[in-house]
Structure 1
Amino acid sequence: MADIPVDTTTAEPAAAHAPPRLLFIDNIRWSMILLVLSMHASDTYSPFGNWYYVDRQATGFGTALFFGIYQSFLQAFFMAVLFFIAGYFAAASFDRKGFSTFARDRLFRLGVPTLVYMFVIGPLTQYFLSHTWGRGGFGHQWLTHLADGEWLSETGPMWFCAVLLLFSLVYGLIRRLGWQERAVVLRGPMVVVFVVLMAAATFAVRIALQAGTSVLNVHPGDLPQYLLMFAAGAHGYRGNWMTGLAERSCLRWGALALAVSAPLFAALVLFGGGLEGDTALYAGGFNLVSAGKCLWEALVCVGMGFLILAVYHRYFGTQGPVAKWLSDNAFGVYLIHPPILIGFALLLHALLLGAITKAILLTMLAAVGSFAVSALILRRSPLRAII
């Protein structure tokens, strides 16, 4: 999912052949896919978030607090990390292929699966599983879906591919005009400036558009973070950040960012209205709580990015058969998991379990089912060309 699907190779500019894969990046990719499943399972049962199908029961303060912290924490970093990786390999890919081949490759590898989801998987999921469409039969509703333009918002989780495709094409056009990233040696003051810039840009957007606002199934309030991480990834390729950064520095920067974020988060919960169940200020607007939340998200994003890079590079740089199988099927899982996850959620509806327990169980079932469908069906079908 780093490039959904990711082109996880390194390359020197003007290299004549494709260098070895960075296996620790492949391992980050399938790990993030599991977090995507966990997020959508949490959306199903928690009082927060949006999803096709929700099965929300009355929850106590502790359960609501758990989901609020967990989902906010995940949202702050996991997709942004993937945009960083995608930017890194976009620079490498453009160097090898040039604009025309690069653009054609991205249109196929990102655009085609997004269209498959928008016209097939998404509508089937809504109509037969989440029951969010009207009456008249699937055929009638599908034609209405096309005629009224609703299909533009039917990207589901494939919004990531749609946004990444846009970023990639814009990046390719900029490179075609002659601009190229400079090799940057990453230093502490640059990290601080980057965090502040991310927080300020996010805050500025959320003054006009609250965090939950959706435009064609994309949240504009999150785009500054994603764009900056993609750009940082492209610069990181020139500076060889993926393998060249000192692990000690990554751990120090990551730990420092998270250490600063912890008391900030506590203050936001205590004084922002979270304890009273009032979350309006967190969503945006010109207020101190929204500004603090944007800063907290930037700290978590950068901090977790550094920690993930260091830990996976040190401890997860190889792949056995299981890890390779997970990596090979990661994008297939990302593409197909919504109907499978919702199907299991419907089966779990009658179980008398707490919301947190159900979310954990649903994550496990959706992971097993989605990886099985990807390996046994998708990768043996014509769709294997796009996953």
Structure 2
Amino acid sequence: MTSISETVAPADVHAAPKAKVRNASLDRARTFLTLVVLLHHSVIPYTYFGHTDPKYFVGFDMIVLATDSFFMAMFFFLSGLFVWPGLGRKSPGVFLRERLLRLGLPFAVAAFTVIPLAYYALALQAHQDTTFAAFWVKMVTVGPWPSGPLWFVWVLLAFDLTASVLYRISPTLLDPINKLSVRCHDRPADFFLFLLIVTAALYVPARVYFGPNHWFELGGPFSVQASRILFYAAYFFIGAGIGAANFDRGLLAADGQLAKSGWGWVGLTLIPYVLLWGLIYIKREILGNPPVQPHWYEASYGLFFACFSAAILFAILAYFLRFKQSGWSILDPMQPAAYGMFLVHYPIALWLEYWLFDASLPAVLKAAIVFVLTVALSWGATEALRRLPGAKHVL
């Protein structure tokens, strides 16, 4: 029997970009990830190992370990999927203008408003006796000026601009990835191995060298985790390669094997996840939780981290490709507001946690209140902002 990879001529890989069509399964996956971000920030104060609230629950450590190990990489992957066709349809000037409007403007506005509002709640919780005006001036003039979760926005803008330059140099640059995606229509495990090898090769040495906590501080609110920057770039450009052409015949095809997968990918995620917890136990109970870990520890952690991230990416994609391609989903009403919710949710979550700090409630109940209200309020705030003239072009 002739395989699909044998029926696609090499010249067909770099097909002319088609008009952008909404993909319900990927839209829903992106909205789901936004909710995962909100959940992540809703439970962090109540974790056992890093709680800042008097109440804690070890189950939240399990959530945070999982979410921190994949969700930003998957955001970069999904963001990269439609970059290459967009570059083919638009002139460099139009592409740059749209990216600055969609990413640069929200980042600039949020850096001066959303971020100071969020961190002022932390300052009050730390009993810093200061007015918001004084706190704001000190943050933007003296620093530190953290970006919170908004670092993703400026890094994504940097990746988009890099992709624009690379596309002008060679529109066929990502064709090898696209060819592999087409060949993996019926063999998604092959692409999984490719993704794992590339991302582990970039992440493990960086983690050993920089450690897990070092950030590149580029001035102002521009910072990014040193060990993960190449890891995220790999997810972005691999996603761009998949989306470069033949999207309906490659790895993410509606009739592909990934869309027909069962629980195998979910089972695969459990192996590296359990191994990560094993390393955490070794660090805390055997090594004595030293501030700097041995190289073998960081290398092992980096490998399991990369494996978990790739496996859960495939598990989530398989679920949404199989069950969420058509019909109605509870995620659909939220989809237009998902980006805005990501931008505005952080101060909402931190202020809710600040107000609940002294409440004599179980950690699970506190986290549930924070999550539900953060979703509702950030959604409502985004919908209100989207009613402003021109705001829908940004949010």
Q: Normalising to structure 2: TM-score of the pair?
A: 0.81
Q: Deviations over 1:289-326 (max 9, x none)?
A: 22221111111111111111111112112364853320
Q: Which moved more, 1:79-88 or 1:179-188?
A: 179-188
| 1:258 aligned onto 2:269 | yes
Give the match for residue 101 of structure 1.
94
- Of 332, 338, 351, the match for 1:324: 332
- Of 54, 65, 71, the match for 1:57: 54
Give the match for residue 9 of structure 1.
none
Q: Which moved more, 1:86-95 or 1:98-107?
A: 98-107
| 1:233 aligned onto 2:239 | yes
Q: Which moved more, 1:178-187 or 1:325-334?
A: 178-187
Q: CA deviation at 1:115?
A: 0.5
Give SS of 2:202's match: helix
| Structure 1 gaps, min length 5 | 1-11
Q: How does 1:257-276 map to 2 (within 5 A)?
A: 257-270=268-281, 272-275=282-285
Give the match for residue 122 of structure 1.
115
Give the match for residue 373 of structure 1.
381
- Of 65, 73, 92, the match for 2:66: 73
Q: 1:48 to 1:385 in 2, by over 3 A?
A: farther
Q: How does 1:146-185 map to 2 (within 5 A)?
A: 146-148=140-142, 150-151=144-145, 153=146, 155-180=147-172, 181-182=174-175, 183-184=178-179, 185=183
Q: 1:139 to 1:260 in 2, by over 3 A?
A: closer
Q: How does 1:178-257 map to 2 (within 5 A)?
A: 178-180=170-172, 181-182=174-175, 183-184=178-179, 185-186=183-184, 187=187, 188-216=189-217, 217-237=223-243, 238=245, 240=247, 241-243=251-253, 245-247=256-258, 251=262, 254-255=265-266, 257=268
Contact 1:199 1:291 in 2 (8 A): no
- Of 274, 289, 293, the match for 2:301: 293
Q: CA deviation at 1:367?
A: 0.9
Contact 1:23 1:319 in 2 (8 A): no
Q: CA deviation at 1:201?
A: 2.0
**Structure with greater proportional helix content:** 1
Aligned-partner residue type, residue 136 of structure 2: W
Contact 2:73 2:309 in 1 (8 A): yes
Q: CA deviation at 1:262?
A: 4.7
CA distance in 1, matches of 2:225, 2:49: 15
Contact 1:76 1:297 in 2 (8 A): yes
Q: Deviations over 1:159-190 (max 9, x none)?
A: 11111011111111111112421122235445
CA distance in 2, matches of 1:130, 1:370: 22
Contact 1:257 1:299 in 2 (8 A): no
Contact 1:200 1:294 in 2 (8 A): no
Aligned-partner residue type, residue 378 of structure 1: L
CA distance in 1, matches of 2:246, 2:211: 35
Alignment size in residue pairs: 361
Contact 2:118 2:351 in 1 (8 A): no
Contact 1:206 1:285 in 2 (8 A): no
Q: CA deviation at 1:94?
A: 0.9
Give SS of 2:359's match: coil
Q: 1:360 to 1:292 in 2, by over 3 A?
A: farther
Give SS of 1:243's match: coil
Aligned-partner residue type, residue 177 of structure 1: I
Q: 1:274 to 1:200 in 2, by over 3 A?
A: farther
**How big is the alpha-carbon RMSD for the aligned residues of Structure 1 and Structure 2?**
2.9
CA distance in 2, matches of 1:269, 1:141: 36
Q: CA deviation at 1:220?
A: 1.6
CA distance in 1, matches of 2:198, 2:20: 34
CA distance in 2, matches of 1:122, 1:214: 18
Contact 2:192 2:311 in 1 (8 A): no
Give the match for residue 23 of structure 1.
24
Q: 1:342 to 1:363 in 2, by over 3 A?
A: same
Q: CA deviation at 1:347?
A: 3.2
CA distance in 1, matches of 2:64, 2:380: 26
- Of 324, 329, 344, the match for 1:336: 344
Give the match for residue 85 of structure 2.
92
Q: Deviations over 1:81-134 (max 9, x none)?
A: 111111111112112113222222112111110001111221233336643796
CA distance in 2, matches of 1:37, 1:310: 22
Contact 1:134 1:141 in 2 (8 A): no
Q: CA deviation at 1:286?
A: 1.6
Q: 1:320 to 1:353 in 2, by over 3 A?
A: same
Give the match for residue 104 of structure 2.
111
CA distance in 2, matches of 1:67, 1:366: 17
CA distance in 2, matches of 1:103, 1:285: 44
Q: Which moved more, 1:109-118 or 1:94-103?
A: 94-103
